[in-house]
Structure 1
């Protein structure tokens, strides 16, 4: 009675141990899929023979048992590692279906030949093919179930890795970031002091302060296109203050009397493109100045926003890259505006070009986390 009572109190511990054992089984299947598949196949063979012995049923010749084990195992191996991945993930089924048909045909022909060689009775082809087809179908169903658990194990491992990477990223982010309120309060204090010294310097400093404040904005809060565009202009103004006449940058925009203050846009997406110009491009070439073009205009029954960047290429690429660039921003935009984003980019021997289209219409949804 005490043991039962203890087990009742320790259900959570027992469940945890059970989940650990299941996780170990998934890991073993993920690391050793070939061994696991043939092990299951061998256990099935041993169980089938044992049941036939216990039930005093007729057992086929050893050669036929070996052929069933090897031939059926090869079919299962092909189904597990080639057919299911190609069909489920790559959506390519024609070639693997032909290959599967060839493998099964060879298996049937060899077995039919050996049965005719060892058996004194005539073999009825129709019952033979029906029985073999049913047998293979059963094996394929078992293998498909095992493959499902195998994929589940791989996905579980990938999810765990993503969670660990996210935790590491959050830790690194926290360790590198000062409290935003402290930073902005100190900058406001400096700004008030600068105002007394120089109004022009105060103006430039205010532009930088606005950029910094925007960078601290919570990405889970709703953001709009006009906010991003304002930061783009401030950023370029700060760069012009920094580099003076050396900076070659042209901005042109045409919004057709349309204010972009109602168009949602994830924070820092366009800024990433602009930052990459200064990281990877040459901003001082007067023959090929950096050019930023912004447009919003009616298109069919929707509004089309276009963002175009052109810049000369840097002679020597930077040694360090954050690896957060065009492809990452493209994935973000396609998540927020599925089917309504087109991004083109390319480069020649002298310059880099990027063109972005975002179509704003009735199908746009706010996917900002709540």
Structure 2
């Protein structure tokens, strides 16, 4: 609890950590493999030149360095994008091997020609080919290792998408009961009939209708943070109507002037966390009321950051069977839609449950697409 309060009060940037940095590098490599491969090759060139300079080793002329860089850069690209995928996934390697050998021989012969202009020593073709072959094996092994991480990043991304699709499918399957239009139309009809009898009851039923309509909303359609928070406010209001003064729940909202209707958020993400408070928590203790806070901070480094804090007392006397749509499912959904842009901290004890969620929307949150 102290760690969560410290982060909440001093407005620390929650987007730190080695794991997030590694995920960011893998994502950039997955999205920009050509630039990534050339960048690694450029770094290798720089390190080689530095080692030769500080080690007082001879440095080749510029044309040889340039040919090494461009030639081997193109061979690495061919190995990365053509040879390895065809050999590993499609079992096609004969034609690719012939092309690789021809390209390698052309590269080596032209390099031999450039070296003949640079040095007066007589160069032997066979020893030179052996030496270049050993160096090429080293380069290709490095490139193969990078390709392995590249495939891993793509596979992990596909796996995450499959998990999200499976969660959505389960949710949609649970919704396949009555027609949403039938349910909403009937509830609206009841609401209109009640208006003349009781205005407070009409208002409560209207809030419940809004929650129903939101729950039936297609997860594939665009959704905003404002819609989610509005549904959560209606949900708490319905619980107050249900339990009356016995409900001990504090809701605080400090979102400033930022237009939260332009900030994307997957439907029912935060609502799942709120529902768990009433499923697994004790919301009737006057000395320890449940507490839900929404806040939007404008940080100079990361831009707009949405913060949600949730505190309640666990209900140990009434264990509830898990629905499998709890914190772990929410975390996977957020990792899919906000990779490297969120952090969720959870602290549990027999007397208190604390959850702190940060979502960074960046400098221009209105222009950020979802997914």
Q: In the alignment, what sits opposite 2:28?
A: none
CA contact (8 A) 1:220 1:368 kept: no
Q: 2 CA distance for matches of 1:171 and 1:263?
A: 23
Q: In the alignment, what sits opposite 1:220?
A: 220
Q: Which has the larger radius of gyration?
A: 1
Q: 1 CA distance for matches of 2:313 and 2:167?
A: 38
SS at match of 1:197: coil
- Relative to structure 1, the CA distance from residue 201 to residue 285 in structure 2 (aligned partners, 3 Å threshold; closer, same or farther) is same
- How far the C-alpha of 1:256 sits from its partner, in A, is 2.4
CA contact (8 A) 1:221 1:368 kept: no
Q: 2 CA distance for matches of 1:276 and 1:353?
A: 12
CA contact (8 A) 1:304 1:360 kept: yes
User: After the TM superposition, which residues 269-284 of structure 1 pair with which residues of structure 2 at under 5 Å, given as runs?
Assistant: 269-284=269-284
Deviations 1:177-203 (A, max 9, x none): 211111111111111111121111000
CA contact (8 A) 1:312 1:351 kept: yes
- Report which structure shows greater RCO (CA 8 Å, sep ≥6): 2
Q: 1 CA distance for matches of 2:171 and 2:248?
A: 39
User: After the TM superposition, which residues 73-222 of structure 1 pair with which residues of structure 2 at under 5 Å, given as runs?
Assistant: 173=173, 176-222=176-222
Q: In the alignment, what sits opposite 1:19?
A: none
TM-score for both structures, normalised by structure 1? 0.53
Q: 1 CA distance for matches of 2:297 and 2:168?
A: 43
CA contact (8 A) 1:228 1:270 kept: yes
- How far the C-alpha of 1:169 sits from its partner, in A, is 5.2
Q: Which runs of 5+ in 1 are unaligned?
A: 1-136
SS at match of 2:196: helix
CA contact (8 A) 2:347 2:353 kept: yes
SS at match of 2:288: coil
Across the aligned residues of Structure 1 and Structure 2, the Cα RMSD in angstroms comes to: 3.7
- Relative to structure 1, the CA distance from residue 171 to residue 254 in structure 2 (aligned partners, 3 Å threshold; closer, same or farther) is closer
- How far the C-alpha of 1:171 sits from its partner, in A, is 11
Q: 1 CA distance for matches of 2:347 and 2:206?
A: 35
SS at match of 1:274: helix
Q: 2 CA distance for matches of 1:171 and 1:305?
A: 26
Q: In the alignment, what sits opposite 2:332?
A: 331
CA contact (8 A) 1:336 1:366 kept: no
Q: 2 CA distance for matches of 1:308 and 1:247?
A: 19
Q: In the alignment, what sits opposite 2:341?
A: 340
Q: In the alignment, what sits opposite 1:124?
A: none
Q: In the alignment, what sits opposite 1:26?
A: none
- How far the C-alpha of 1:318 sits from its partner, in A, is 2.6
Q: Which runs of 5+ in 2 are unaligned?
A: 1-136
TM-score for both structures, normalised by structure 2? 0.53
Q: 2 CA distance for matches of 1:219 and 1:297?
A: 27
